[in-house]
A and B are shown apart, each in its own frame.
Chain A
């Protein structure tokens, strides 16, 4: 699930800004961060590290099939 869940978000938008891959957006209604495009998460943890209240939980597993050079 890549970036997995967000709990206790204060809506500061740091993670939205910090994510290189534009995975997270602020929900216009609630003002809180939502995982909008999980398939594009590169599991780099920048969002988690920038979140001032440590609201983001990560998982190491990608949500779409992973293509590598050999298996």
Chain B
């Protein structure tokens, strides 16, 4: 299947073709898929704990940090809960470039900046959020600087500083699995602790801010394997609207050790964060994927921003203004270094990591493009009391393509702060919602169900099956109707038959089981949104609809659960807010 030492092929053991991926994976080094499930923890013995707060912040990345700090400073009692540790989970630990719009040093105005982003984004950005980013970035950078964020590689300690100073309680290594809605508004969240003998946690709150980041299909070559769009999926299940699922993040990895994120990013992960000013591009869409689709590996040398000028015809369109000059830094096709980070400074690579290989961040869209649909400029979702910020909010701040460098990190900071204040304000006006015991018991039994199944499907196997279906270039990136329908059939099978039979032998696997379920639902969203968008624009490319269709598609796609439980999609015109709230 692979020839050893051939630079265009992944290493021995590290690659499996689609056919193998969909069938014979269980044998390849994971827990035997056929063994009886003998959990090491007894579901019945797991204790239940209840916490109460005004504002519950879910997620300990850049957005969660600011949401917690600002909600506290606005007078609310805050509880910060995270699947991992503060500043050491999600994408935040790996981002090093922080965009700052400093009126003193910028030549152009904020209006110019917003207009530039909109031009590059082909209208897909929400200019209200783009402007907000520029207006607040300097203040957030100043605070981060005071906390020592720009002084060291790792951000747990700098993040801990303001949290500890304010005495904001943290619950870490707690996976939230459910948002709880009662009488039409948010009542809190529930989840379980990964540590010790486990614990089911019910977190009652007046307001909840989702700072759960983005997600992916646990892909190889991008450090997003701890995120599975949990926030969006939980919110979807209680009636919130979700957007941006058709966009793609086009990061590539390397053929040598494709899964080695650290190595593929050169010295990026080692760096101390810094700031940067206005620099707008049209980067990291699916240009490389298109070239790879047309020519196969190894990719021709030209910068992917310039595919139109090269021998390969067609493909995603980059607006003329944002095409890279020949000889300029290519975003992603330089064989010897990783692509520049989404909106971050460019890395100097370690060299000789092999040729680019796609799907590094499979299942993740452009930061800020996918997530909860906001009904205003404060991260308010369509569910009263539920807010979102950062990568969990579908603010379309940058649009359906990477535009401003460093804006992802800064955007999470800015949006986190604003949503923190908004949530604190909301929380002042409402009481804690009552939670019926029966509902809590039901949630508990749902959470622990995989531990109680003596037989079923291992989450690792289901995940790899999903990866085999979704990650191929010709499904997720270079799209066409027939392939997406085929993939959807697989995904529906996983959804209907496998999610209900996911099993778990311990708390770690319980987490995987819930993540797997969330990935499957996300896959369905991605396929349906991509099927619906019958045009190509920014990072969404359809082979069967390769043109930009401004007549029909100056619109975002919102996804929500219909009355009958099925997935519904609707258009929301660019430059508009949802028609209800």
Beta-carbon contacts of A55-71 to B below 8 Å, as 1s and 0s? 00010111111111111
B473 at the interface (CB under 8 A from A): yes
Q: Are A20 and B223 in contact (CB under 8 A)?
A: yes
B407 at the interface (CB under 8 A from A): no
B173 at the interface (CB under 8 A from A): yes
Set of chain B residues within 8 Å of A44, measured between Cβ atoms: 93-94, 223, 261-262, 269
Q: Are A71 and B297 in contact (CB under 8 A)?
A: yes
Q: Are A61 and B11 in contact (CB under 8 A)?
A: yes
Set of chain A residues within 8 Å of B357, measured between Cβ atoms: 68-71
| Given A60-B260, A61-B257, A65-B21, residue A42 in contact with residue B358 (CB < 8 A) | no
Beta-carbon contacts of B61-85 to A below 8 Å, as 1s and 0s? 0000000000000000000000111
A6 at the interface (CB under 8 A from B): no
A32 at the interface (CB under 8 A from B): no
Contact of B30 among A43, A46, A64 (CB under 8 A): A64
Query: Which residue of chain A has the shortest Cβ distance to B362 in the bound complex?
Result: A69
Q: Are A67 and B90 in contact (CB under 8 A)?
A: no
Q: Are A68 and B464 in contact (CB under 8 A)?
A: no
Q: Are B88 and A20 in contact (CB under 8 A)?
A: yes
Set of chain A residues within 8 Å of B15, measured between Cβ atoms: 65-68, 71
**Which of A2, A42, A64, A67 neighbours the largest number of chain B CB atoms within 10 Å of its CB?**
A67
Instruction: Tell me, in angstroms, the Cα distance from A61 to B226 when the chains sit together.
Output: 18
B131 at the interface (CB under 8 A from A): no
Within 8 A of A (CB), among B280-297: 289, 292-293, 296-297
Contact of B88 among A18, A39, A58, A62 (CB under 8 A): A18
Q: Are A70 and B296 in contact (CB under 8 A)?
A: yes
Query: Which residue of chain A has the shortest Cβ distance to B9 in the bound complex?
Result: A71
Within 8 A of A (CB), among B401-429: none
B460 at the interface (CB under 8 A from A): yes
Q: Are A20 and B84 in contact (CB under 8 A)?
A: yes
Q: Are B29 and A18 in contact (CB under 8 A)?
A: no
Within 8 A of A (CB), among B11-49: 11, 13-17, 20-21, 25, 28-30
| Given A17-B85, A44-B262, A50-B154, residue A67 in contact with residue B220 (CB < 8 A) | yes
Tell me the minimal C-beta distance from B202 to chain A in angstroms: 22
Q: Are A42 and B84 in contact (CB under 8 A)?
A: no
Q: Are B477 and A66 in contact (CB under 8 A)?
A: no
Contact of A62 among B9, B220, B460 (CB under 8 A): B220
Q: Are A58 and B359 in contact (CB under 8 A)?
A: no
A49 at the interface (CB under 8 A from B): yes
Contact of A67 among B30, B85, B468 (CB under 8 A): B468
Tell me the minimal C-beta distance from A15 to chain B in angstroms: 10
**Across the A-B interface, how many residue pairs have beta carbons closer than 8 Å?**
160
Set of chain A residues within 8 Å of B10, measured between Cβ atoms: 66, 68, 71
Could you tell me how many residues of chain A have their Cβ less than 8 Å away from some Cβ of chain B? 31
Contact of A69 among B13, B218, B269, B472 (CB under 8 A): B472
Instruction: Tell me, in angstroms, the Cα distance from A67 to B260 when the chains sit together.
Output: 13
Instruction: Tell me, in angstroms, the Cα distance from A20 to B85 when the chains sit together.
Output: 7
Beta-carbon contacts of B144-155 to A below 8 Å, as 1s and 0s? 000000000110
| Given A17-B85, A22-B511, residue A68 in contact with residue B172 (CB < 8 A) | no
Set of chain B residues within 8 Å of A17, measured between Cβ atoms: 84-85, 88, 172-173
A12 at the interface (CB under 8 A from B): no
Tell me the minimal C-beta distance from A1 to chain B in angstroms: 11
A9 at the interface (CB under 8 A from B): no
Instruction: Tell me, in angstroms, the Cα distance from A41 to B289 when the chains sit together.
Output: 26
Instruction: Tell me, in angstroms, the Cα distance from A49 to B471 when the chains sit together.
Output: 30
Query: Which residue of chain A has the shortest Cβ distance to B24 in the bound complex?
Result: A65
Instruction: Tell me, in angstroms, the Cα distance from A61 to B15 when the chains sit together.
Output: 11
Q: Are B512 and A68 in contact (CB under 8 A)?
A: no
Instruction: Tell me, in angstroms, the Cα distance from A22 to B173 when the chains sit together.
Output: 8
Within 8 A of B (CB), among A16-44: 17-22, 36-37, 39-40, 42-44
B168 at the interface (CB under 8 A from A): no
Instruction: Tell me, in angstroms, the Cα distance from A40 to B253 when the chains sit together.
Output: 18
Q: Are A36 and B508 in contact (CB under 8 A)?
A: yes
Q: Nearest 8 CB-CB pairs, A to B?
A: A69-B359, A69-B358, A60-B260, A62-B259, A20-B226, A60-B257, A42-B225, A65-B16
> What are 28 contact pairs spanning A and B, CB under 8 A?
A22-B84, A22-B226, A37-B508, A40-B225, A40-B508, A40-B512, A42-B224, A43-B260, A44-B93, A49-B153, A50-B88, A61-B257, A62-B257, A62-B258, A62-B260, A63-B29, A64-B464, A65-B29, A65-B464, A66-B15, A66-B220, A66-B258, A68-B253, A68-B360, A68-B471, A69-B477, A70-B289, A70-B358
Residues of A whose CB lies within 8 Å of any CB of B are 2, 17-22, 36-37, 39-40, 42-46, 49-50, 58, 60-71
Known A20-B83, A66-B14, A69-B362; further 13 A-B contacts with Cβ < 8 A: A20-B225, A22-B173, A22-B511, A43-B260, A60-B262, A63-B29, A64-B30, A66-B10, A66-B220, A66-B258, A67-B464, A69-B289, A71-B297
